[in-house]
Structure 1
């Protein structure tokens, strides 16, 4: 049993197939595409233009990619004309077209309290969570007992001693129940909200922007989930830099 710290890793995100490149390469060469746009931008353009173009979805980039990715933004903003289109779509709230971009994260060492908050965001999210029913949390089990998250406000002065003492008491209660023959699925009832857990989460871009708007720092969110929101933003903007303006826009508009 020990205090844990949050760890977040991006496991996977939207990527183009070789079949796509085989088609797009006819008029818009693979090497040029890789230089001008991320995979996410290509998917976003394909989805958006499908709504307004006479071209088929599989033809959008081959026939329109050079126009959008190869010219400067016509609205005077930064980036290419594709970036201008993305800004227009977000401004007009036609963001269902951004649901085609997905991101899968490994999220480790977060509290069950955070999990309860996180799973309130259901549309556009998928969760696979470590089970306290099947993963035994006894001191003598493989887990070594349950780990826990200490809120920042509980680390001040005597509060930390009180908090850690409560965790130790919960562990003892769990261990004593198991020794008394209580199944793990029932003994887990005494584990606190601070008990840490691990999960895999997949979310689309539209849902993630909405999550960030509600849970970002400075918007009244609890510190732990606000830290998670910021970390998810960083992970996404690292692989899809063009999305940064929309996370910033969320902050500015709330």
Structure 2
């Protein structure tokens, strides 16, 4: 699995004269957008006026007031104000099983590598379908050395058999959209995923390590968390 952050919410710097940030290097674009959204709900001012007149209050003095405000918003459940922060990720090498679990979450946008239009035969440009080996299966490499065929051996043999079946169907003229029916849940795919901060916090709370989720999706949850924190460090405490 590989996760890269493609894009995230940034300010329109063409109109940067609408705010005057103290210690600007310590304030992220996401914090500014969040402040505008949060204070808009409670102020008679416009969002732009809020940024112009209240930035010093919230972001001055090491941002103590902004930290207090963001913590209050999350603890009170008024997290709709965090939906204005969006993140787009390029995700590589996750299973179709994980993809099915992802679709159970709301307010995410997906663009997924198609098994209908991409050919996965051994002689195609993809050189066959890739697949994910579940953690518990991989572990048998070391826990079942006394067996002639470990669970991992059985698993890998099954993947080879499926590849052969897919290849045979393609060679017989079966279109990819029908041949894909034999591909397993383990088949890997790549996708582009976009979600807002509120959705990502909710996703993490349900899929983080220790929450009872499957290992592969807990890995993804951790990767998404890391990528978000890299560009918006202030969000780290809300992923706990």
Structure 2 residue matching 1:100: 3-state secondary structure: coil
1:62 aligns with 2:45: no
Structure 1 moving runs of 4+ over 4 Å = none
Query: What is aligned with 1:252?
Result: none
Check whether the contact 2:23–2:60 (CA below 8 A) recurs between aligned residues: no
| Separation in structure 2 between the aligned mates of residue 80 and residue 203 of structure 1, nearest angstrom | 28
The RMSD of aligned alpha carbons is 1.1
Q: Normalising by structure 1, what TM-score? A: 0.88
Corresponding residue to 1:100 among 78, 84, 103: 84
Query: What is aligned with 1:233?
Result: 225
Corresponding residue to 2:69 among 73, 85, 90: 85
Query: What is aligned with 1:7?
Result: 2
Query: What is aligned with 1:50?
Result: 40
Shift of 1:240: 0.6
5+ residue gaps, structure 2, are 145-149
Q: Normalising by structure 2, what TM-score? A: 0.94
Cα deviations by residue, 1:217-236 (Å, 9 ceiling, x for unpaired):
00100000001001111111
Query: What is aligned with 1:148?
Result: 131
Query: What is aligned with 2:112?
Result: 129
TM alignment of 1:194-205, pairs within 5 A: 194-205=186-197
Check whether the contact 2:95–2:132 (CA below 8 A) recurs between aligned residues: yes
Shift of 1:33: 5.2
5+ residue gaps, structure 1, are 1-5, 73-78, 249-254
TM alignment of 1:208-219, pairs within 5 A: 208-219=200-211
| Separation in structure 2 between the aligned mates of residue 145 and residue 36 of structure 1, nearest angstrom | 47
Structure 1 residue matching 2:10: 3-state secondary structure: coil
Cα deviations by residue, 1:95-141 (Å, 9 ceiling, x for unpaired):
0000000100000000000000011112x210000000000010011
Count, aligned residues: 231
Corresponding residue to 2:161 among 151, 169, 175: 169
| Separation in structure 2 between the aligned mates of residue 163 and residue 33 of structure 1, nearest angstrom | 56
Shift of 1:35: 2.3
Check whether the contact 1:133–1:185 (CA below 8 A) recurs between aligned residues: yes
| Separation in structure 2 between the aligned mates of residue 118 and residue 149 of structure 1, nearest angstrom | 16
Check whether the contact 1:107–1:199 (CA below 8 A) recurs between aligned residues: yes
Cα deviations by residue, 1:167-214 (Å, 9 ceiling, x for unpaired):
000000000111111111000000000000000000000000100011
Query: What is aligned with 1:221?
Result: 213
Check whether the contact 1:36–1:70 (CA below 8 A) recurs between aligned residues: no
Shift of 1:19: 3.1
Structure 1 residue matching 2:35: 3-state secondary structure: helix
Corresponding residue to 1:139 among 122, 127, 131: 122
Shift of 1:61: 1.2
| Separation in structure 2 between the aligned mates of residue 64 and residue 20 of structure 1, nearest angstrom | 17
